Amino acid sequence: MLGSMRYAVKTLPPNDLVDLLTRARPAEGAPPNILRVLHAIHDVCGSIDPGFIPAIAQSQGVTDADVAGVLSYYPSLNTQPAGRHRIQVCLGESCLANRCDLVVAAIRSQLGIDLDQTTSDGRFMLEPVSCVGNCAVSPSVRIDGELHGRVRPSDIAGFLDRYR
Amino acid sequence: MSRVRLYLSNDTSSCAAGAERLAEAWRQRSEVELIRTSSRGAFFLEPMVERDSPDGRLAWCHVTADDLPKILAGDGGLPISTIPFLSKQTRHTFATFGVTEPLSPEAYQAHGGLAGLRTAQQLSSSAIIREIKTSRLRGRGGAAFPVWKKWDVAATTTADRKYVVANADEGDAGTYCDRMIMEGDPFRLIEGMLICGRAIGAQAGYVYCRQEYPKATACLHDAIRAADAAGWLEFDGRRFSIEVVSGAGSYVCGEETALLESLEGRRGVVRARPPHPAQSGLYGQPTIVSNVLTFATIPNILARGGSWHASMGTEGSRGTAVLQLGGRVKQPGLIEVPFGLTLREVLDQFGQGMADGARLKAVQVGGPLGSLFTDAQLDIPICFDAFAQADAILGHGGIVVFDHETDMLELSRHLMAFVADESCGKCVPCRIGSVRAREILETVQAGQATEADLSLLAELGDTMKLTSLCGLGGRAPYPVLSALERFPVEFRSRLRS
Ligand code: FES
């Protein structure tokens, strides 16, 4: 990933992690739930530092390998630090039919990064996604929480300007 | 001055089409009372604004913020009943879409909500299941398994706990009806789950919702809280809890056993069957896994009777088909019609043909694992059996139309690369077969392949079809091989001579 170390990484202060893991500890006799804990951390940090694996494993009473296995399995759990703004561009078939390739090309050329990369200033990360359920108003681009439909390549510059 | 009540959809796609901009622009206007509804699904007309009139709702389409004076004056509104895309449909599950406020329990009940649950509360478990059997409802998620059979197995298996799981991992690109239900009529899903829970004797329900649907997740949370506050989450004096759980971007988690693994917090890897989840599912307990649309179809069946449902559709496919039209058609959107219309009729009558300047090349039905149809093959009736005979699937009802500019070789590579990425890795034919198949297609693209490579692709496809553990590997070859068969020149012209 381009220059991933050059910008601040959002992380969890050690005490918050301990708190979170304590809360996520399964109740007496209840089964562990690794994905749930990973989601909780991801929601706060935007990614998961693999250095947290042993602590997560301990809180759930599972092995480090169990946690690493779940973490590596799910595409939307990032282990790289997240950019400030997350651009998701849909490559699903309805968007494909509506030429999302041209939209991707416009974003790539304006940001100088490829899919699954982050700009060197940490401003944008660009992720592919397969369908956001907006197929009737495709092609679709989601920036942070905001979903844009019927996107034309010429819209991209204006969108990006709104996110600093 | 009295305020004029305007209705504006709050659906994800309506907002992406501009509804949210309208809401922002008009929020401060004292002459407007804005009601945020679900969407009617005529997305090609959105953003759409409605107001009441003596002739029912009037609609203004493709609205911009500057159109407000016109709307307030009542100029140029179109009666909803005159929009053919909507008037030609048979809306049952989606009957109240665009009409009501999704998160209002009062509005839900005012439009007939909870009638199914009330009926179910008067019936024994076996009588509920008999009604579902009479309805001849088959699962709407893709496998089309008779719903009553699963319920019967779960109901008659003795266990400490039983579960109801709504599969809201609507992963097939080109589909969005589950998203619309969760955002636009979440109580209908909840009611369906409650009826199922009572029929099988379950204590808890989960909705496994894909992470790509943040608004649906939020709406469900709110709807569950509202249902709980209204005292709906119980039957027979016992509480039935419902919880929303988020997926994490894995397509195969839409497969029911992978979904259960994921719900337990593990890697979403497919389990070998038998046992089926109805016998041994979540935490080894009897579990009904059905998709959102299936659960949302249940309340009407209980309220109006199984034979009402069975009176619609074709011999093997009773009830209505919920289709989602996307791609290069003129009128993309949600369509609910009785099973039996042909694919061509759907594209012509509802899609109104191709978008300007586009010519039809191929139609993919049923998501990334669905077969491709050419223009000459569009007279196939929309029903489970006709599609099965054609080696195709209806899947979740997604229909994506590709135009003349589509490179079928690249589309095939894209689809196979998707499977290679999403394979859970449990079985060899899918894990390795999809990677090899993608490589062969890349060799063809590079101009390095020979006729022997295409034979190998077909052979590999047969192995994957016959030996994969689940539908992902088993269906993956179909779109690619159907493209190869129907557009041979696009592959063969790229071979090394
Ligand atoms: S295919 Fe892009 S939103 Fe569905």
pLDDT tens digits along B255-286 = 999 999 999 999 999 999 999 999 999 999 99
> Hey, is the C-beta of B43 within 8 angstroms of any chain A C-beta?
yes
**Dist CA B143 CA B39 (whole Å):** 27
pLDDT at B1: 60
Pairing of β B360-365 and β B372-373:
antiparallel
Find out whether the peptide bond into B429 is cis, omega within 30 degrees of 0. Answer: no
Three-point CA angle B487, B388, B300, nearest 5° = 125
Residues B248-261 have pLDDT tens digits of 999 999 999 999 99
A77 CA to chain B: closest CA distance, Å? Answer: 7
Q: How far is B124 from chain A (nearest CA, A)?
A: 32
Structural domains in chain B plus CATH codes: 4-87 (3.40.30.10), 105-310 (3.40.50.11540), 320-403 (3.10.20.600), 408-492 (1.20.1440.230)
Specify the pTM: 0.96
Residues of B within 8 A of A150 (CB-CB) are: 16-17
Report the alpha-carbon distance of residue B471 to residue B143 in Å, rounded.
9
Distance from CA of B400 to the nearest CA of A (A): 6
Could you tell me how many helices (H) and strands (E) chain A has, helices first?
Answer: 7, 5
- Residues B483, A135: Cα–Cα separation, whole Å: 22
CA separation for the pair B126, B129 (Å, rounded): 5
pLDDT at A46: 86
Contacts of A67 in chain B (CB under 8 A): none
pLDDT at A81: 83
Burial class (CB in 10 A: 0-12, 13-18, 19+), B315: exposed
Residue window 328-347, chain B: list those with CB within 8 Å of chain A. Answer: 328, 332-334
**For ligand 1, which residues put their CB under 6 angstroms from it?**
A 90, 92-95, 131-135, 138, 140; B 173-174
- C-alpha distances in Å from residue B240, one per residue of B39, B193, B228: 29, 10, 10
pLDDT of residue A11: 64
Residues of chain B under the 70 pLDDT cut:
1
pLDDT of residue A4: 37
- In chain B, which residues have their Cβ closer than 8 Å to the Cβ of A130? 171, 173, 251, 368, 418
pLDDT at A3: 34
Take residue B133 and report the two structure tokens written for it: 């059997």
Q: Which of residues 12-41 of B touch A (CB under 8 A)?
A: 12-13, 15-17, 41
The residue among B8, B2, B53, B1 whose CA lies nearest residue B26 is: B8
CA B405 to CA B326: how far, in whole Å?
16
Other Cβ atoms closer than 10 A to A110 = 14
Note whether B169 and B253 are within 8 A (CB): yes
Those residues of chain A that have pLDDT short of 70 are 1-11
The tokens for A46 are 């935007």
Q: What distance in Å separates the CA atoms of residue B216 and residue B169, rounded to the nearest whole number?
A: 11
Structure tokens at B208: 């496994």
Q: What pLDDT is attached to residue B23?
A: 97
Quick one: which of B112, B45, B114, B113 has its CA closest to B84?
B45
